[in-house]
Amino acid sequence: MPAVALPQRRLANAIRALAMDAVQKANSGHPGAPMGMADIAEVLWRGVLKHNPKNPQWINRDRFVLSNGHGSMLQYALLHLTGYDLNIEDLKQFRQLHSRTPGHPEYGYTAGVETTTGPLGQGLANAVGFALAEKTLAAQFNRDGFNVIDHHTYCFLGDGCLMEGISHEVSSLAGTLKLGKLIAFYDDNGISIDGEVEGWFTDNTAQRFAAYGWQVIGQIDGHDSEAIRAAIIEAHADTTRPTLIICKTVIGCGSPNKQGKEDCHGAPLGAAEIVATREAMGWEYGAFEVPEDIYEAWDCSVKGDVLEKNWQGQFNAYQKAHPELAQELTRRLKGELPASFELEAKAYIQEVASKGETIASRKASQNALNAFGPLLPELLGGSADLAGSNLTLWKGCHGIQENPAGNYVFYGVREFGMSAIMNGIALHGGFIPYGATFLIFMEYARNAVRMSALMKQRVIYVFTHDSIGLGEDGPTHQPIEQLASLRGTPNMSVWRPADAVESAVAWLSALQKHNGPTSLVFSRQNLAHLERDALQLDNISRGAYTLVEETGVLEAIIIATGSEIELAVRAQQALTAQGKGVRVVSMPCVDVFMAQDVAYRNKVLPPEVRARVAVEASHADYWYKFVGLDGKVIGMTTFGESAPIKDLYQHFGITVDAVVNAVNSLS
């Protein structure tokens, strides 16, 4: 450290200089937020934040989330200055192809970035997930004298985040759950892309968050270091309420001609204005130049190493006092399943196959949870107010509202918030989150579901009431295009099982997947049990398999999923009676099937057999990739109707006769 402490404004100006230089060089970006929040960031990151730049994965670090992710250069400057693996050349590559400084913070690209932000409001939701995970994990593992899980979550957010509806969903829940270690800094600069927000955003934010059950501090001067520090101390003192610190700031602070204006929100300052800004700030250094004394004052490597070593000493003592707990915590933080889990899960699948129940796949899902749940204490479930319909509660569930060490979250009617919170839980580590709603209401959650896939997080979505089979609730509740949307999402696995056996396999696959989310799509109505031999049972996990072999020469293939498998089997029986060689392929998970080797895929779907019919009570267009121009699809091309299930299938032509006629027309 330098012998003489440097003025905090000068230290904050290093952020401003790096931000404006990087945006200018890229000729693209948002300098306003980094320059406006630099003083807040300096106080937090240098004096408060518990982190180790040399080990960004230290489990007991504080989490930092930049919800207003367009201000990414703020975070990159902070990471660079405090000693993370992000050098000045990386900053010079801001917004360039394959750089470690993309336009918005991207999880997995940059050491120290905890989550991908950019879609406004979702960073705040992720932060709620981080704080929820910390509280629950601490309740499960901390013991007297051993607070091995003990850290805060800090979130920066702006006007845009608070305008997004998701901010209401998650902030309301955070207050109800009393997430006292969540501290959010509201960058109240009054400016968005279109100009001064007073024309479209006049909420009383303080009253709003107080009504949620938050501690509200401010407005404070977001450029006054002492006021910022005092606010953080006050936030720490209240351990039962999340805290919102309202910081009045000037966007683009330091720019003499553009500060306080929308001009600096989403565009470079320009060469002339950068010269003027350097002069106004007294920053006498060139582009991307930071003097050594400022680097020394910013570097948190030594302090971070001490913090982690002190914690490691405590954890070592914890290991001696509570060896089994320590071992279990370590396993869960690594994201590893128990060593015996796969063997026990497969034994359960065999048991389901032997039992042969005809039940709704949503019920089969609950049965799987009852089997797998006791084996997996890392499961943290929930539902968006539909637990009794989604059947996500299993016998060992305990709500965290009543028991902080529990394993179930009653999210309320908050599909979007639930999904984004689950992303935060998954990113925190120690849990496998699953959450449920009707498949149609995936649309409310769509962008958070996409973010799960973008970040490759093990989040499990339980979507029930999967088709027109929902019946009388009608087209508002009957999903048509949602399966195609989910299947078209990179990194997303989508399972639509045909019976209880496939449902259990789907759960096992989702739990074992480490590199992305899974959507488990279940029926409301009962589905008949399907008989399988041992090889067929094993092949379910490959995403598609031959369920019913053809008699004689293979002439045609029927491909189906979920509730339509039974219909396909009956059609195959009718066609076999006509003397046709037809097989039925069950394809519960397209993406898993497409990841198999070519030999297996060609064995299930021989390329020379062009007579193919796909049948699914969902949008028909998706299936042409498997049936080709020569094939036919029995499915939906319109929205549904309100009527009993049998009437709907007949009305929309999803019938045995329709499948038989389609096959006959091709062969």
Which residues are part of the catalytic machinery?
A: 415
The SS3 of residue 412 is coil
Which residue(s) pair with 184 in the sheet?
155, 244
**245 backbone dihedrals φ, ψ, rounded to 5°:** -105, 115
CB-based contact 633:620 (threshold 8 Å): yes
192: left (phi over 0), alpha (psi -120 to 50) or beta: beta
CB-based contact 160:175 (threshold 8 Å): no
H, E, C per residue of 75-135: HHHHHHHHCCCCCHHHHHCCCCCCCCCCCCCCCCCCCCCCCCCCCCCHHHHHHHHHHHHHH
DSSP line for 186-230: EEE--EETTEEGGGT----HHHHHHHHT-EEEEEEETT-HHHHHH
- What's the farthest any 2 CA atoms get from each other in the chain? 94
Q: How many Å apart are CA 74 and CA 14, to the nearest integer? A: 10
Q: What is the dihedral of CA 133, 136, 139, 141, to 10 degrees?
A: -60
Q: How many Å apart are CA 48 and CA 69, to the nearest integer? A: 21
CA atoms within 13 A on the CB side of 73: 34
Tell whether the torsion through CA atoms of 60, 64, 67 and 73 is positive or negative: negative
CB-based contact 581:554 (threshold 8 Å): yes
Q: How many Å apart are CA 128 and CA 184, to the nearest integer? A: 10
**397 backbone dihedrals φ, ψ, rounded to 5°:** -80, 140
DSSP line for 341-406: HHHHHHHHHHHHHHH---EEHHHHHHHHHHHHGGG-TTEEEEESS-HHHHT---TT--BTTT-TT-
Helix (H) or strand (E) segment spanning residue 40: helix 32-47
The SS3 of residue 60 is coil
CB-based contact 401:410 (threshold 8 Å): yes
